[in-house]
């Protein structure tokens, strides 16, 4: 199976990007084809053979990754598997691409693999980087209902069937939107603890737009994908959880601004998942109200 990789960058991590590209070049098996997308910025120097695309403006994370996908043909069809990797990450092992080939070849229902993210110094994995509710044991691989955006592998047939990431999200929850559409189409998602991306431990709130985008896109996610009966339940649970976490006053103000924006702005096409998919999510341990 042919493997490609899409990496988006703002051009501000040249050393980390070079280290990531070196780790991709060292993968076992056939070489991984790589496209680096400068998301509104020039691309730093890269090794020979790495294709680059420089966008005149920042299209956001999903928009940038979609441009990288299309560089491999419509929906990435020129390759069988696409890796999506954060530009400050690093593949910990040389066999990750080969493990992806084996996993997709062995399981025709497998559409997406979520890698384990580990701190390069401590080897620890944050709970938020384990894409399931029971996250206390990051070393346990399992079926899951979503995946990590900057550390994953996608079978390109998924894009052909359900489309790419939602451009309009810009940042936050775009992975879950794609995951729900893939699950509704019959694909499965695995979290694999043996496929590791080293990434410095950071807080998502380091992004200035975090609280607003998280709230807005949560509403969009529900409006686009959930049966009408579940939309108020899902958003009510998230509102309650947000209040219980007691964010700062400025953060809460930004969150409620985003929540309001999610209801008053277009969210893209609505394609509610089937109730059979709701049951599948529930059996996988995460009903779409949590």
The fold of 3-202 is: Spore Coat Polysaccharide Biosynthesis Protein SpsA; Chain A (3.90.550)
Q: What was the pLDDT predicted at 198?
A: 98
pTM metric for this prediction: 0.96
Q: What was the pLDDT predicted at 290?
A: 86
Q: Identify the bridge partners of residue 86 per DSSP, sorted by sequence position.
A: none
Q: What was the pLDDT predicted at 209?
A: 80
How much of the chain is in helix, strand and coil states, percent to nearest 5? 40, 20, 40
Angle at 130 between CA 238 and CA 114, to 5 degrees: 110
User: How many angstroms separate the CA atoms of 219 and 223, rounded?
Assistant: 6
Which helix (H) or strand (E) is 31 found in, with range? none
Q: What was the pLDDT predicted at 205?
A: 57
CB 136 within 8 A of CB 25: no
Residues of the chain below pLDDT 50: none
Q: What was the pLDDT predicted at 54?
A: 98
Angle at 13 between CA 11 and CA 16, to 5 degrees: 135
**How far is the CA of 102 from the CAs of 59, 240, 258, in angstroms?**
33, 42, 41
Closest CA to 138 of 201, 177, 192: 192
Q: What was the pLDDT predicted at 26?
A: 98
CB 265 within 8 A of CB 223: no
CB 261 within 8 A of CB 218: no
Residue pLDDT, tens place only, 137-149: 999 999 999 999 9
**How far is the CA of 139 from the CAs of 2, 53, 129, 212, 285, in angstroms?**
28, 36, 12, 32, 17
């Amino acid at each position: 199976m042919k493997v490609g990789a899409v990496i988006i960058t703002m051009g501000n991590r040249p050393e980390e990007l070079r280290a990531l590209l070196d780790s991709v070049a060292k993968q076992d098996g056939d070489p991984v084809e790589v496209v680096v997308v400068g998301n509104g910025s020039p691309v730093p120097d890269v090794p020979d053979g790495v294709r680059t695309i420089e966008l005149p403006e920042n299209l956001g994370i999903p928009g940038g990754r979609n441009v990288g996908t299309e560089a491999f043909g419509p929906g990435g069809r020129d390759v069988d598997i696409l890796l999506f990797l954060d530009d400050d990450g690093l593949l910990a092992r040389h066999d990750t691409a080969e493990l992806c080939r084996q996993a997709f070849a062995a399981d025709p229902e497998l559409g997406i693999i979520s890698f384990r993210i580990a701190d390069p110094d401590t080897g620890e994995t944050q709970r938020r980087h384990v894409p399931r509710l029971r996250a206390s044991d990051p070393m346990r691989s399992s079926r899951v209902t979503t995946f990590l955006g900057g550390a994953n592998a996608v079978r390109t047939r998924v894009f052909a069937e359900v489309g790419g990431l939602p451009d309009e999200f810009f940042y936050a929850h775009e992975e879950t939107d794609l995951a729900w559409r893939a699950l509704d189409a019959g694909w499965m998602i695995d979290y694999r603890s043996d496929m590791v991306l080293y990434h410095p431990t950071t807080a998502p709130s380091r992004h200035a737009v975090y609280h607003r985008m998280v709230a807005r896109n949560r509403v969009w996610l529900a409006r686009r994908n959930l049966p009408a009966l579940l939309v108020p339940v899902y958003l009510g649970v998230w509102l309650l959880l947000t209040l219980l976490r007691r964010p700062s006053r400025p953060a809460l103000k930004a969150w409620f601004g985003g929540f309001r924006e999610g209801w008053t702005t277009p969210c893209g096409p609505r394609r509610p998942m089937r109730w059979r998919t709701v049951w599948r999510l529930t059996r996988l341990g995460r009903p779409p109200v949590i």
